[in-house]
Amino acid sequence: MNSDIALQAINLVKYFPTGSSGLLGRPDKSVKAVDGVSLTLRKGATLGIVGESGCGKSTLARVLTRLIEPTSGQVILNGADITHTSGKELRDVRQQMQMIFQDPVSSLNPRHSIGQIIGMPFTVQGQFDKEATPVRVRELMKLVGLNPEHFNRYPHEFSGGQRQRIGIARALALNPSVVIADEPVSALDVSVRAQILNLLEGLQAELNLSLVFIAHDLSVVRHIADEVAVMYLGKIVERGPAATVYTHPAHPYTKALLSAVPIQDPSSRGGAGRIRLQGDVPSPIDPPSGCRFRTRCWKAEALCEEQEPLLTDDGSGRLVACHFPEETPVAIGNRAQ
């Protein structure tokens, strides 16, 4: 494996059985939450994963971190296959890869003080030291912009942005090389989002972190990502350098998402305007045949129903799964500050 790769997913699949039928009680149908996803995260880089709610982003994050077991496929962390690790080996994996959760309220135990929450990874890993751990916790609080004097306060005494900083400090406690952030700013006010994004960028540069950043807001991902992967109904439909994906989206779904991003000068879209997708997202229990996006795509033809498009390189280093990719550049909003 390339030594420059921090994290890799190879044909990752996660199905959730919906029920059972028959005498043996075998599952009759499954939710295809993640269905054959392959990704690569370079060391020191940020991979953005975007898509509508329900496309499988959060499930993918939990499979990558081994919070839930994959149905099939592989997860490679720093050159080691961690797909089936358990026990002590899995605890060792936790030191190398941590997660920042979406909701900064429910992800923190209201009965524990901030010092206890941030110090919990040391306890779980058997690294707790009565004297050294509180010192390290206060260092982490200062690192993420919290007042170390608030060590004994509880989560309800902090704002939403401060609670997310607590979650970030907890994720960094064990000095991981890979951090997966699952929509870490979606529950925050716009002004606070920028602060958290700038914090993550600064920490990444200072600590040489490799970051997977998941969001449904494309303007947020554009601010922080080096590469972008677009998910639709459990599959990656486009993946490549952020600059290429954002200015020259090849998949119609990517183009539709980008058309919804607010811009200062709407006339710069060249008269294209917003693309409004028709219909609802199909059920992940019974996805459409062929291309899963075809039921909402304005370019769909018979081939799209008959044959599933493969994720292939279009010659520019960008991968796209579409029989009739887009070619027109797209004007998008200004980079977030």
Please give the DSSP secondary-structure letter assigned to residue 187.
T
**Cα 320 to the center of its chain, rounded Å:** 19
Report the chain's mean pLDDT, rounded to a whole number: 89
Query: Residue 114 has what pLDDT?
Result: 96
Q: Of 334 and 10, which is predicted with more confidence?
A: 10
Q: Using one digit for the tens of pLDDT, what is the confidence trace for 199-209?
A: 999 999 999 99
Q: Per-residue pLDDT tens for 157-194?
A: 999 999 999 999 999 999 999 999 999 988 888 889 99
**Taking residues 297-326, what's their average pLDDT?**
91
Q: How far apart are CA 290 and CA 235, in angstroms?
A: 12
Look at residue 38 and tell me whether its pLDDT is greater than 80.
Answer: yes
pLDDT over 90 (residue 13): yes
- pLDDT tens for 76-110 read 999 999 999 988 899 999 999 999 998 888 889 99
Q: What is the pLDDT of residue 137?
A: 96
Helical ranges in the chain per DSSP H: 57-64, 87-96, 114-124, 132-143, 160-172, 190-207, 218-224, 242-247, 252-259, 302-306
Closest CA to 127 of 151, 91, 100, 178: 91
Q: Is the pLDDT of residue 67 over 70?
A: yes
Q: Under a CB-based contact definition with an 8 Å cutoff, are residues 41 and 6 in contact?
A: yes
Q: Are 211 and 223 in contact (CB under 8 A)?
A: no
Element (H, E) at 182: strand 178-182
Say what the alpha-carbon torsion angle 21, 25, 29, 35 is, to the nearest 10 degrees. -170
Looking at this protein, which amino acid is placed at residue 11? N
Neighbour count for residue 224 (Cβ, 10 Å): 20
pLDDT tens digits for range 265-279: 555 555 456 787 877
> Which position has the higher pLDDT, 116 or 316?
116
125-156 pLDDT, tens digit per residue, is 989 899 999 999 999 999 999 999 999 999 99
Residue 41 confidence (pLDDT) above 60:
yes
Tell me if 258 sits within 8 A of 242, measured CB to CB. no
Q: What are phi and psi of 256, to 5 degrees?
A: -65, -40
